Amino acid sequence: MKRIYISGPISGVERAEYLANFADREKRLRAKGFEVLNPTRLAPSRHLWIFRLIGYRLTLLYDLWYLLRCDGISMLDGWEQSRGARLEKATSEIFNIKEI
């Protein structure tokens, strides 16, 4: 089974909206048999107090560490407007992690 990382805009998007976007993609990927890493379920994004404690940079570094453990990346609509998603996309290209 391939492990897929979901990437997309979070900052500047209403919490309910980005949670729904990531959850929908996660559901679709799991239905196709993939193991999915959804960054909105990882500790810094899931628990806002951790995010506030460690900040944006360390949260993104934490997410990149998870991305590097994956076989593929799935980009959500609007990723081009997100600094973090653009970095995740560039990282996936550098490390030859295929887009699903």
Tens of pLDDT, residue by residue over 17-58, are 999 999 999 999 999 999 999 999 875 555 565 666 667 788
Looking at every residue in the chain, the average pLDDT score rounds to 90
Max CA-CA distance within the chain? 36
pLDDT at 78: 96
Domains (ranges, CATH) in the chain? 3-99 (3.40.50.10400)
Given a cut of 70, whether residue 11 has pLDDT beyond it is: yes
3-12, 27-36, 47-56, 74-83: range with lowest mean pLDDT: 47-56
CB 34: neighbour CB atoms within 10 A? 19
E strand spans, the chain: 3-7, 35-37, 72-75, 98-99
Whether this prediction's pTM lies above 0.85 is answered by yes
